[in-house]
A and B are shown apart, each in its own frame.
Chain A
């Protein structure tokens, strides 16, 4: 399909942009500071960074402010910024087991190895809209945070990096062992195109950067929708925590931790029940994404194992790879608002011609009418 460009309207476009710039700072309230956004709207900042593919909290906050809170637009701004930056170093791979937990729940086991730590969550309380104007300082809610002033406590390695449930399943020979003996380079979706058939590492990268709603929708369609894969889903681990960022020191060649980022991680346990599957075992799907975004990590883990089990029989892999990027889908959708005068006019002309052929009209008056319409159209195009 081809598109014809339109031109003109520059003054109106500039006036519209000026209107956006002025209106987003108007009003009687104080200007929105960047640290207010990073401190108070952390989940939005996390989503923007995750969908842009760049951990940069301050820039994500600026993007959110500029986009007036539109997450997809903010991710677009941040990803555009990202495209202007080059990579400074090759990464030193970090192991997912190095994740230092801020929250860890194991829905599959009541008493797993290590603590079940609810962390910062509202999962177990009702959602009531707070209509008061009182700004909570956190002091009055501190009644459940311990009665005595806390002495500093140290979470030992086993507590902050507890053994994952997958290891327990393996010890009990309940999980399929799919560990590889080789160590292929990870597929870089920023450098190479993503098409069905790419390695699993590409799928994981695509889903880590996908739009949250798109992943959730695809998972839901896959589980309950027309794709018909209704099955029991059990989550092994849901973790939120810190992961180190590591590079090689150029002088010594040794690893250096530069800092850390927050990530969410999920293991999804799949009950194997296919004729050609090991029905006395489970298999496990994996999800990890940037920031605190459990919906996304859970959908990712479930889709990871779903694509593996599907084995290319359906279009699921294609859907995961080609339809979950927020910028691509929103960009294509939003381009529909741009002028499509020429393409639509050609469609109208085809309709008119079909109608003329179908009705068997061959008289000179009808032909002349069509010709007149074409001449008028060309005159408008030429203008």
Chain B
């Protein structure tokens, strides 16, 4: 029987990988929310684009279980941006063609890396995104659970 417990919400970032935690959640955060926070980051601190945001691809390499070999399954459309903000290099990548939100994510990454005044709001946005993802995953599982099947064998 599939496990059913009340949803367990995220516990927050592992202290050893806070920057990666932010990058992952800024990659999934609502575009409008992230742009709003980034605009507030721009109100203080010098910011410049290191390079134009780029729409390109990220290959997905999978290790298959039979032989343990890696193979390239597909490429995924993604947008990358790098900025200088508060003397820190900010980096972000988001799936899809989304230059504005990706630049905003890079600004947030730099602001938090520099421990700027908006760090708390950025981390709150990340934590909220983490909760939404966990809730969405739990809701998805709740829809799937009624389809768990136990077939019977017909015995003479």
Contacts and interface: CB of A to CB of B under 8 A. Distances in A.
Contacts, number: 252
Given A154-B5, A258-B95, A200 B65 contact: no
A180 B69 contact: yes
A189 B72 contact: yes
A50 B146 CA distance: 29
Contact of A94 (B2, B61, B68, B96): B61
A366 B29 CA distance: 82
Contact of A256 (B24, B55, B64, B97): B24
A97 B8 CA distance: 22
Contacts of A178: 66-67
A257 B71 CA distance: 18
A160 B137 CA distance: 10
A72 to B, nearest CB: 18
A186 B93 contact: no
Specify the main secondary structure of chain B where it touches its partner.
mixed
Max chain A Cβ within 10 angstroms of own Cβ: one of B1, B59, B71: B71
Interface string B51-87: 0001111111111111111111111111010000000
Contacts of A164: 65
B35 to A, nearest CB: 18
A216 interface: no
Nearest to A116: B149
A245 B57 CA distance: 11
Given A152-B142, A155-B2, A159-B3, A87 B56 contact: yes
B61 A93 contact: yes
Contacts of A188: 59, 72
A204 B95 CA distance: 24
A105 B89 CA distance: 47
Max chain A Cβ within 10 angstroms of own Cβ: one of B17, B19, B113, B141: B141
Contact of B58 (A117, A155, A245): A245
A380 interface: no
A102 B70 CA distance: 23
Contacts of B43: none
Given A245-B60, A258-B94, A285 B66 contact: yes
Interface residues of A, number: 92
B4 A144 contact: no
Contacts of A86: 56-57
A87 B72 CA distance: 13
B156 interface: no
Contacts of A342: none
B80 A88 contact: yes
B73 A87 contact: no
A95 interface: yes
A174 B145 CA distance: 31
A338 interface: no
A110 B4 contact: no
Interface in A103-156: 103, 105, 110-111, 115-121, 144-146, 150-156
A208 interface: yes
B103 interface: no
A34 interface: no
A267 to B, nearest CB: 7
A244 B51 CA distance: 27
B148 A115 contact: yes
Contact of A179 (B68, B94, B139, B147): B68
The 4 tightest CB contacts between A and B, nearest first, are A56-B77, A152-B7, A155-B141, A201-B71
Given A89-B78, A267-B66, 7 more contacts: A87-B75, A146-B145, A151-B142, A187-B72, A258-B58, A286-B66, A288-B64
